[in-house]
Amino acid sequence: MLDFGKIKPEEIPGIIDAKDRSLAGKTLPAHALYLVEVKYK
C-alpha cells in the first residue's frame, strides 16, 4: 500500500509540540468548504 506522505495519528502530538507549521504538511484553500452539522454530546 502506498503512503503518499500521510501523517500518522501518533505523529500529531509531536507536530503540535514542535510548533512548526511546516511539519504538518500542505494546506488547501478553504473555498467551497462549509459546515454541515454540529453535534454536541
pTM metric for this prediction: 0.54
Residue with the three cell numbers 454541515: 36
Q: Are the C-beta atoms of 15 and 7 separated by less than 8 Å?
A: yes
Predicted pLDDT of residue 27: 81
Q: Is 41 strand, coil or helix?
A: coil
1-41 per-position pLDDT tens digit: 556 678 899 999 999 999 999 998 888 788 888 889 999 98
Helix, strand and coil content of the chain, in percent to the nearest 5, comes to: 35, 0, 65
CA distance 19 to 21: 6
Predicted pLDDT of residue 36: 93
- Joined grid coordinates for residue 29: 484553500
Q: Is 27 strand, coil or helix?
A: coil
